[in-house]
Structure 1
Amino acid sequence: MQVWQEFWITGDVDGRGIPVSNPDGPLDHALFLLCARDTVKLLRNHASLALWVGGNEQVPPVDINRALKDDLKLHPMFVSNQTTKKQGKYLSQDSADPSKYLDGTRVYIQGSMWDGFADGKGNFTDGPYEIQYPESFFKNSFYKYGFNPEVGNVGVPVAATIRATMPPEGWSIPIFRKGIDGYIKEVPNPIWDYHKYIPYSKPGKVHDQIELYGHPKDLDDFCGKAQLVNYVQYKALLEGWTSFMWTKFTGVLIWKTQNPWSGLRGQFYDHLQDQTAGFYGCRCAAEPIHVQLNLASYYIEVVNTMSDELKDVAVEIQIWDLDGASPYYSVTEKIAIPPKKVKQIMEMEYPKMKNAKPVYFLLLKLFRVSDKEVLSRNFYWLHLPGKDYKLLEEYRQKTVPLEIGSNVSVSGSTYKVRMSVQNKSKKPAAESAASVSTMELHDGNGSHNISQEANSEVQKIGLWSKICRGAVVSRSGDNLRTVEVNGTDSGVAFFLHFSVHTSESSTQENYRDTRILPVHYSDNYFSLVPGEKMTVDISFEAPEGSKPMVILRGWNYHLNHAVTM
């Protein structure tokens, strides 16, 4: 992790506004510098510290800026990584004593939009902070400068957070008003407006991204569709920047991970510390070795951010339609990707095929040829040009068979749960026997199965609740509980997600948030094609006296199976 460390100057309150607020920055410049120097001494030995920045969207007053530049000037040995005559001169002589420098190892930048960031001149060339077409992030015209110090997007949380943080008057969803130009303007209720709601449409520029999935019926429907959009937006944002890695872009910072209150702006986790689906979209896109689809060119790309060449790998490409069939399957030849590079592999053929379906799923897997280990997995839901996702409304009625396993370890109030979910749909017979799709996905620890260590720690095993007919509970070994959910349909188990609750009951009329927060998931908001299995590690602290339970829900899985502990 690399840390961008700013001092306490901000364009929000220093030197801006009408009239100009606080034009000379802090009231006591000497005290500011005393604190700044003390902070440098506190943090300078941390390996993760990348650079010092004078202020956010502003620079410090002249005297403070001059002092910080002098205090944080680079030691000659750190001036450049490139061999220059000047550097050779420094290295050929005795250098100054590094201990005399406050911190001579890192660059000082006077402000977040100066000295090489954004346009480098302090103009407002960060952002944007609004909804985009996902393919826009992959276009060369989207952002002009090498490093964007701030870019954001949407971030509505799940419906439970809205109900837990707002009175019932705030539970109404935006009004969708269609203009004569065909664009929809979302009009939020006054409470959402007060909480800085960023809409999922941008009239005149971006058609409403929630309406692509069908008009939302209520708060739960709106927030559920918002999670789909959150996931797509943040994954596309990072994949788009990564697609231009070191050819146009050098970096990007997302503003922001969270709101300091119950805001409805871009965020990865809400005011109650529950992650939005955008977090997991970002998490997918940010892996150091990554396979992705360029949504502008429709070329499959492999990203290698590592310092070593990536060899002996291939990409598996699967298309699944809403009928549970796999009309396209391919595995590339063995490829190699140079270090710190993005390599185009091949163009996606399916959208140009004669019988391409208007809505389909794409699964990409980058795997090592020698042992079939999956290095990167990336799942998309896509539509043909000019189409939308409204067919996914009907897909909610699918009943895909699942096998769900649980293993629980309890130590005091700390719970560690390992959940496994497998899509038991039958795979089409035509699919190639060379497919690696039946392999279990790696969990956060790089292991496939429940470890012996986890088994030995188990103190208490949860029993599955039979919430619907067709659920068959079985026991495997001493510690693993499994439940099989019968289903009549084959296809993708779409957009599954876990949540952790107390066993209390709640109704919309007498609402009580039953979630236990925060909870750490190794992954969430995931989809499984027929035959696939995923393992998710869950950890949390349970309130005293509570009986936690883990609940699984999904776009086409509404049985709310729970494991009670």
Structure 2
Amino acid sequence: MRTEIGTAVFTNFESFKKFMPQDSWWPRNEMWDKHFFGPSALNAGPDTYMSTIDKSYGPSQGIEEFCRKAQLLNIEVNKAMFEGWQHNMWNDASGVLTWMSQSAYPSMVWQTYDYYYDLNGAYWGAKKACEPIHVQWNSGDNSVKVVNTTSNALQTLNVEATVFNMDGKPVPSMSLKKSLTTVPSNSATPALTLNLNPENLAFKAPMTASSDEGDGKLPADATDGGIGSRWSSLYSDDQWIIVDLGASKTFNQVHLIWESAFGKAYKIQVSDNKTSWRDVYSTEDGDGGSDFLEFPATNARYVRMLGVKRASQWGYSLYEFEVYNQRSQNLSNVHFVELKLRDNKGKLLSENFYWRSLKGSDYQDLNTLPKAQLKVVQKTTEKAGKVRMNVTVSNPQDAPVALAIRLMPTFKSSGQQILPVMMTDNYFSLMKGQSKTVEIEFDKSLLGKDVVELKVEPYNRG
């Protein structure tokens, strides 16, 4: 069992303003540390958490904007903690236990729902990952697996992966379907692998290298199509990694995505026999990051990155080694991966949704999404001391993407959030023409003489 895994989890603005004096709202200050968002948070990593939001979703101008962006990170991180274990189910641990479910004091760390019982993005990320029948995507190798943690095997399932651009239009060339005959109990069964870069001649190509650091940092990890894995060499200057294209092919570009251990001086070399090499590119001034290298078109079977001088005390490390003859921009910089799992009668068993970037973890283009234009139909009933709301949220066919839609029941008289509330879903996203029905329930006694008013707020609310 992997225990006490957790992270900073910033609250929604509605909870934040309940415990934080208004003169301490923004920017970050000593008062935040009294609620464990500073040195007192120890290994919860609030500094990393805040810098990640800034880099991934852009710097915030105020606390309300920061809280809204924090929920996207909360969803990402907490879903990934459980899906990461499920991807390697039973291989290295028998489960994951997060620290913790709820903070006993108004806090900004270690929680999946907050002190006031608000179910923020962390809760919905964890809930999605932990559904008994689940379909998930691994950003490290672009594989899609079906996870079955029930006591029974599942028969005849259909998996569908659809890639959407920022404009909400699907990308058919990168979308796949697959039928599975059986998914055993307590297993994660491979279904399909997305190729989100079909023009990359090196995708899944055989790799060899002068050295590597073992599992998780092997040569093959540099051509798996994802930046969640990498090849890493031993700590010396003279190291290399070779792509085998399988046959002689024409190409004129190499794309290297470096980890922080990059090459200060290196060469790109080609060969037909893996013995005699000729240079097509060289530099003595490498700066890491993402290197798009162009050279006159050449024909060869093997392509080698030959390290000459390291930029650090470490070796050389590449997230991806890509080779191209042509490169067209089929994907927007930020795009979406939607997964659906159905039985043989078409019943939806699981669905999942991710945002992905061609620039690593830079999702700032999400801030340019046009204002969502949602339609909401709701029915509210009272029975046995409970208020029950049946809410259908629809995104019109001609409307933009609606990202991370949050439903929040409030008191009509004050606009304040009603808590605690049970819901079947939240922070869901809708493409063009899609809809979702959510059930909401809370104790009628919470209302008193007031009435409920539902707020529906997507991330791109304008």
Q: If the TM-score is normalised by the length of the shorter chain, which range does it land in?
A: 0.5 to 0.7
Q: TM-score, normalised by structure 2?
A: 0.66
Which residue number corresponds to residue 23 of structure 2?
A: 169
Among 68, 76, 85, the alignment partner of 1:232 is 76
Whether contact under 8 Å (2:156, 2:179) holds in the other structure is no
Change (3 A) 1:199 1:210: farther
| Structure 1 residues 228-267: Cα deviation after superposition (integer angstroms, max 9, x where no partner) | 0000100000000111111222111111011101011121
Corresponding residue for residue 397 of structure 2: 425
CA spacing shift, 1:280–1:387, aligned 2, 3 Å: closer
Aligned equivalents of 1:298 and 1:201: distance in 2? 29
Alignment of 1:42-191 (within 5 A): 147-174=1-28, 189-191=29-31
For the 8 Å contact 1:351–1:384, the answer to whether it is kept is no
Please say if 1:408 is aligned against 2:380: yes
Query: Does 1:544 pair with 2:398?
Result: no
Greater Rg by CA: 1
CA distance in 2, matches of 1:363, 1:263: 33
Residue 196 (str. 1) matches residue 36 (str. 2) = yes
Helix, strand or coil: the match of 2:52?
coil
Give 1:554 deviation, angstroms.
0.8
| Secondary structure, counterpart of 2:110 in structure 1 | coil
1:67-114 CA deviation, whole Å, 9 max, x = no partner?
xxxxxxxxxxxxxxxxxxxxxxxxxxxxxxxxxxxxxxxxxxxxxxxx
Match of 2:336 among 348, 351, 361: 361
Other-structure match for 1:53: none
Identity of aligned residues (%): 29
Q: Within the alignment, does 1:215 sit opposite 2:98 as a pair?
A: no
CA contact (8 A) 2:372 2:458 kept: no
Q: Using a 3 Å threshold, how does the CA distance of structure 1 residues 199 and 554 change in structure 2: closer, same or farther?
A: farther
1:260 and 2:104 correspond: yes
1:391 maps to amino acid: D
User: Is the 1:291–1:365 contact (alpha carbons within 8 Å) kept by the matching residues of 2?
Assistant: yes
Shift of 1:342: 1.1
- 1:295, CA displacement in angstroms? 2.0
8 Å Cα contact 1:321-1:361 kept in structure 2:
yes
The partner residue of 2:409 within 496, 500, 504 is: 500
Instruction: Note the alpha carbon deviations across 1:134-193, whole angstroms, 9 max, x for none.
Output: xxxxxxxxxxxxx1121111211111111111211331133xxxxxxxxxxxxxx11111
- Alpha-carbon separation, structure 2, partners of 1:211 and 1:234: 18
8 Å contact from structure 2 (residues 375, 396) kept in 1: yes
User: What is the Cα deviation at residue 291 of structure 1?
Assistant: 0.7
Q: Which whole-Å CA distance do the structure 1 matches of 2:70 and 2:405 have between them?
A: 15
The answer on whether the counterparts of 1:496 and 1:557 sit within 8 Å (CA) in structure 2 is no
Counterpart Cα distance in 2 of 1:238 and 1:163: 30
- Pick the structure with more strand per residue: 2
Residue 491 (structure 1) aligned with residue 400 (structure 2):
yes
Change over 3 Å in CA distance of 1:389–1:200 after alignment to 2: farther
Aligned residues: 323
How far, CA to CA, are the matches of 2:48 and 2:125 in structure 1? 22
Q: Residues of 1 paired with 2:73 and 2:352: CA distance?
A: 16
Quote the offset at 1:330 in angstroms: 2.4
CA contact (8 A) 1:414 1:540 kept: yes
Higher relative contact order (CA 8 A, sep 6+): 2
The normalised TM-score by structure 1 is 0.55
- Contact 2:75 2:122 survives alignment (8 Å): yes
Per the alignment, residue 119 of structure 2 pairs with: 275
1:465-492 deviation line (CA, Å, top 9, x unaligned): xxxxxxxxxxxxxxxxxxxxxxxxx332
* Preserved CA contact (<8 Å) 1:156 1:266: no
**Does residue 316 of structure 2 align to residue 316 of structure 1?**
no
Amino acid at match of 2:387: Y
SS at match of 1:202: helix
Counterpart check, 1:529 vs 2:373: no
Instruction: Please list every run of 5 or more consecutive structure 1 residues that lacks an aligned counterpart in the other structure.
Output: 1-146, 175-188, 427-489, 507-513, 559-565
Structure-2 residue corresponding to 1:84:
none
Structure 1 counterpart of 2:137: 293
The residue aligned with 2:245 is: none
Which stretches in structure 2 are left out of the alignment for 5+ residues? 38-43, 200-327
